[in-house]
Structure 1
């Protein structure tokens, strides 16, 4: 593509170059560089406990040393099933320093989902939260897992808070993990302390596989997007170019987006490390925790999702000046409402812009200019070295400005393919272009707008839900004859899951709800059910989800609606 085919370049801020240099670097080199340049600077702030970059690198090297003693060899996978906490960062970079591959694992997964992923990625080690230990152990015999490394929130707290933690949990009626002494679990920090002189045992190459990021992709069936070190570091460099006013060694980044989510991993962690920022980690998205962290650490950067920004603005204890430290926010995972953007910018004095990405692209491909022209309702402009085109969904022919078709992407951040799935990898690409599965359009100035999802993925507050996966669980219930799942508007989450069910025999909403909660992560469980006599279908028997969504929006009731 020549410059005439890239109209977005003319809309770039003057400080943003159209193309970048990509030196041969790896993800672990980001931490090594930060420790060399900003060794005494706080890398992680976690409920009052501070870890500097030198200590973070030391702990990560200890992890690398010890997990290689357990048998890890270059290219082996290590599953991480942790929320945002210092232990996650240590295990993440430690895995790379050992030559391993991180298999991102959602802590909300049920046993069924966890078993499927662990069997697919072949991980022999998992680092998990102590509260999840029983769940991991229940699937361990049916997976390649050999060892389970556990840690808890209390392990990462300052001494006084660690001592008070059990009492605080009881007071909140929150669960407390109790692992019997005879269990074969490896406790993370005592295990790290056994490391001999930490070293740097393995050197990775940019084209080595770094992360398996599980996604439904274009079919709804979870599979691991293979992201190389070059993919991830390229996206970090693109991020640094776009946020060109970021000050090295001075920023404070709010780590509220889960690191197991590809957006959080790249923008809230890898990018933050690359500029020597302090990461304020929040293990669970709760409005009280979020507001407390903002007040306590005064972040300057807040990558997040619309739900997070809205929760702070509407918090009953929100005060003028709470957001004054925030200079820049890039919103991802869901469309950003105009009223949320305007109110947040008014109260913070900073910039909040919408971006776009997908797991298969490490993930960011587009964003509105931070300090340039922001076009509300668009995902902005393609990032440097990111080529985009809109193609006709029937013919595959490129379309011009204003025309609607499938958005396709190519660039240095685009994945190698799907783990052990050559056929699905081939289907995901069109002559070297990554097929996003999203319908979009581009205007004359190169701003892109997502018009509609080509597939039926549901976006619940940033979490992706694939109707087919939920439907398959519903089909397992003996009282369900047919089921179809759609996303319906939700004022807080953006979308929520609704199930239309044709009953084989009597079953209630409560029964289906309990059945689904045993088999699906909480965010995938339908929040609404409607019992109907039949599902609308095409002439070939395909369920017409579009008509079900229209039925919901029109407010028409079905027989036996719950």
Structure 2
């Protein structure tokens, strides 16, 4: 059925888990109830998710490393009946008056909260089943292509696309929870017809470690834009690069089955119609990016991303709307500047973010990692030959490491906030 690292879970094991859940008082009748799940063992978690899905229960997945008190507070904020912590037998009932019953079972998650207080978002199992069917149709993989899932299954990308979509097409996913890269490389070697699910930083590390063997077959990225350096490194490995694009409210919106650039978001899944409109609609008519808006069955989702809808219907990512830098009324898209800097010899990594300026309002700031000592003037001169002056970073700092989150994601907003308090 599935495998966690080198340990297999059979259908028989899964059925045994189900029978044990039916004996637990808190899981005997899950219909209409919300459950917060904070469970480290991926095999047990997947069995529990499928059990609750089949029996009309809603779920809220919480990262397994979350402390108990934080998990209980999250459970209460989401209106769950209780929290299963560490193991399905450990149940902490919600004694508050915040318990909410669901008329339709859903998968819940909190938004990232990068632009405000995190918001609880729920999508029905029915909508998720539709997404999985459309996703498998678009990705076009056969059952014998082995999914190797590096992202946590407490995240919708790892759970829905990496595991549940794989099970739906008859594949047996391998969930990797061991941080040792040798295990992943060994699995890739053992299953040459594979597709590896990861975020850009994970895939970059994998490609760097896999030279010259084993051969990488298919790598799929999601969760954050891929940098030019990452795209070029992965492209040089000779594998097929895929990228899926979505958001909390909608799940997977589009899929590129063969990336042509780090901005390639592919074609929307069959249930979605995506347009580029919104507050900068007139600019889009002139070939400028506008907000990507996805619509399906009466649901309208404003993604908060600036992009282009090309003539063939494919999508191109340009920037998060919140990341656009306004220099005296002129817009600067960070990815454009980052790509120019990435093409400079000796630059290993860089990030462009917003700073404050007393006259122009915003200024362009750069944090970069160089292979050898480099002066800011050299980088600025490189940019001036390739960009309009207003897009060239005014402040440049060289560091040994650019701060990243647990998933390898750089938060421009966090960098901006740190500058604000300095």
TM over 0.5: yes
Answering whether residue 385 of structure 2 is matched by residue 385 of structure 1, we say: no
Q: Which residue of 2 aligns with 1:170?
A: none
Contact 2:146 2:171 in 1 (8 A): yes
2:11 to 48, 53, 57: 53
Offset at residue 447 of structure 1 (A): 2.5
Q: Which residue of 2 aligns with 1:350?
A: 239
Q: How do 1:133-172 and structure 2 match up within 5 A?
A: none
Offset at residue 260 of structure 1 (A): 1.4
Offset at residue 211 of structure 1 (A): 0.4
**What CA deviation, in whole Å up to 9, does each residue of 1:449-477 have, x standing for no partner?**
222212359xxxxxxxxxxxxxxxxxxxx
**What CA deviation, in whole Å up to 9, does each residue of 1:348-391 have, x standing for no partner?**
x5311222111111x21112234xx8455221221213101111
Contact 1:83 1:258 in 2 (8 A): no
**What CA deviation, in whole Å up to 9, does each residue of 1:397-438 have, x standing for no partner?**
8954723211110126xxxxxxxxxxxxxxxxxx84211111
Q: Which whole-Å CA distance do the structure 1 matches of 2:22 and 2:283 have between them?
A: 51
Q: Which whole-Å CA distance do the structure 2 matches of 1:213 and 1:278 have between them?
A: 25
Moved more, 91-100 or 336-345: 336-345
**What CA deviation, in whole Å up to 9, does each residue of 1:275-300 have, x standing for no partner?**
12121111255534433433455561
Judging by fraction of residues, say which structure has more strand: 2
Offset at residue 84 of structure 1 (A): 6.4
In structure 2, relative to structure 1, the CA distance for the partners of 1:492 and 1:344 (3 Å cut) is same
Offset at residue 538 of structure 1 (A): 9.9
Q: Which whole-Å CA distance do the structure 2 matches of 1:125 and 1:102 have between them?
A: 10
Structure 2 residue matching 1:452: 3-state secondary structure: strand
1:88 to 40, 45, 62: 45
Contact 1:79 1:123 in 2 (8 A): yes
In structure 2, relative to structure 1, the CA distance for the partners of 1:497 and 1:60 (3 Å cut) is farther
Offset at residue 91 of structure 1 (A): 1.3
In structure 2, relative to structure 1, the CA distance for the partners of 1:70 and 1:50 (3 Å cut) is closer
Q: How do 1:99-178 and structure 2 match up within 5 A?
A: 99-109=56-66, 113-129=70-86
Answering whether residue 215 of structure 2 is matched by residue 323 of structure 1, we say: yes
Answering whether residue 302 of structure 2 is matched by residue 435 of structure 1, we say: yes
**What CA deviation, in whole Å up to 9, does each residue of 1:11-65 have, x standing for no partner?**
xxxxxxxxxxxxxxxxxxxxxxxxxxxxxxxx22224321223432x13532552
Say which structure, 1 or 2, has more relative contact order (CA 8 Å, 6+ apart).
Answer: 1
Q: Which residue of 1 aligns with 2:105?
A: 209
CA RMSD of aligned residues (A): 4.2
Answering whether residue 365 of structure 2 is matched by residue 365 of structure 1, we say: no
Contact 2:75 2:94 in 1 (8 A): no
Offset at residue 90 of structure 1 (A): 1.0
Offset at residue 233 of structure 1 (A): 0.9
In structure 2, relative to structure 1, the CA distance for the partners of 1:69 and 1:126 (3 Å cut) is closer
Contact 2:109 2:122 in 1 (8 A): yes
Instruction: For structure 2, list consecutive stretches of 5 or more residues without a partner in the other structure.
Output: 325-340, 369-392, 398-417
Offset at residue 66 of structure 1 (A): 3.1
Structure 1 residue matching 2:84: 3-state secondary structure: strand
In structure 2, relative to structure 1, the CA distance for the partners of 1:68 and 1:99 (3 Å cut) is farther
**What CA deviation, in whole Å up to 9, does each residue of 1:479-524 have, x standing for no partner?**
xxxxxxxxxx9999986999x9xxxxxxxxxxxxxxxxxxxxxxxx
Contact 2:5 2:183 in 1 (8 A): no
Q: Which whole-Å CA distance do the structure 2 matches of 1:492 and 1:227 have between them?
A: 39
Q: Which whole-Å CA distance do the structure 1 matches of 2:154 and 2:13 have between them?
A: 22
Q: Which residue of 2 aligns with 1:259?
A: 153
**What CA deviation, in whole Å up to 9, does each residue of 1:141-200 have, x standing for no partner?**
886899xxxxxxxxxxxxxxxxxxxxxxxxxxxxxxxxxxxxxxxxxxxxxxxxxxxxxx
Structure 1 residue matching 2:127: 3-state secondary structure: helix
